[in-house]
Amino acid sequence: MSSGPPNKRPRTDSGPTPLKSQLTRDVEFWFSDGSIILIAGNTLFRVYHGVLAAHSVVFHDMLQFPHPPSSPSLDGCPTLDLSDSPADLRHLLRVLYPKPATRFMRRSADAPVKFEHVSAIVRLSHKYQMDAILKDTMSYLTEYYSNYYHEWLARDKKPLQVKPLQCIEAVALAHLTGTNTILPTALLECAMSDGECLFKGYAREDGTVVMLSSDDIQRCFLGYRELKDLDAISIRTVARIVGEGEMRTGCVQPYTCRMVMHAFWGMVHSSATTDGDVLRPWAELLDKYKAPGDVGFCGACLAVLRGYPSLVSGRAGTWYKLPQIFGVVVPQWNAIS
Query: What are the tens digits of pLDDT across the range 115-164?
Result: 999 999 999 999 999 999 999 999 999 999 998 888 888 898 999 999 98
Backbone angles phi, psi at 330, to 5 degrees: -135, 90
> Within a domain: residue 300?
yes
Looking at per-residue pLDDT, the higher value among 225 and 244 belongs to: 225
Confidence bin at 327 (pLDDT 50/70/90): very high
| C-alpha–C-alpha distance, residues 300 and 251, integer Å | 6
Backbone angles phi, psi at 43, to 5 degrees: -110, 135
* For the chain, percent of residues with pLDDT exceeding 90: 48
- In this structure, the strands spanning 113-114 and 160-161 are parallel
Residue 256 has what pLDDT? 86
> Within a domain: residue 265?
yes
Confidence bin at 45 (pLDDT 50/70/90): very high
Confidence bin at 264 (pLDDT 50/70/90): confident
DSSP string, 244-310: TTTTTTT-S-HHHHHHHHHHHHHHHHSTT--TTTTT--HHHHHHH--BTTTB---HHHHHHHHT-HH
Reference 314, options 274, 285, 293; nearest CA is 285
> Within a domain: residue 233?
yes
The H or E element containing residue 201 is none
> Within a domain: residue 294?
yes
| C-alpha–C-alpha distance, residues 215 and 94, integer Å | 35
Query: Structural domain tally of the chain?
Result: 1
* For the chain, percent of residues with pLDDT exceeding 70: 79
Query: What are the tens digits of pLDDT across the range 203-218?
Result: 999 999 999 999 999 9
Reference 189, options 303, 276, 92, 255; nearest CA is 276
Reference 192, options 284, 316, 276; nearest CA is 276
In this prediction, residues 76-83 reach a mean pLDDT of 92
| C-alpha–C-alpha distance, residues 141 and 166, integer Å | 11
Q: What is the DSSP letter of 154?
A: T
Residue 2 has what pLDDT? 40
Looking at per-residue pLDDT, the higher value among 87 and 287 belongs to: 87
H-only helix segments in the chain:
49-55, 57-63, 86-96, 115-127, 131-144, 149-153, 166-177, 183-191, 195-200, 214-243, 254-269, 282-288, 299-306, 309-312, 316-320, 322-325, 333-336
| C-alpha–C-alpha distance, residues 104 and 118, integer Å | 9
Residue 296 has what pLDDT? 84
Count Cα atoms within 13 angstroms, Cβ side, for 262: 8
Contact 48, 57 (CB under 8 A): no
* Residues contacting residue 298 through CB under 8 Å, at least 6 positions apart: 251, 252, 253, 256, 257
Let me know the angle formed at the C-alpha of 238 by 233 and 240, rounded to the nearest 5 degrees.
90
Residue 212 has what pLDDT? 96
Residue 293 has what pLDDT? 78
Contact 234, 315 (CB under 8 A): yes
Its domain, for residue 292, covers 225-320
- When mean pLDDT is compared across 72-86, 192-206, 227-241, 285-299, the lowest value belongs to 227-241
Looking at per-residue pLDDT, the higher value among 270 and 174 belongs to: 174
Query: What are the tens digits of pLDDT across the range 19-35?
Result: 556 899 999 999 999 99
Looking at per-residue pLDDT, the higher value among 12 and 128 belongs to: 128
Confidence bin at 272 (pLDDT 50/70/90): very low
> Within a domain: residue 268?
yes
Looking at per-residue pLDDT, the higher value among 78 and 241 belongs to: 78
* Mean model confidence pLDDT for the chain: 82
Residue 7 above 50 pLDDT?
Answer: no
Reference 226, options 315, 291, 154, 144; nearest CA is 315
- When mean pLDDT is compared across 250-259, 277-286, 297-306, 319-328, the lowest value belongs to 277-286
> Within a domain: residue 201?
no
> Within a domain: residue 119?
no
> Within a domain: residue 296?
yes
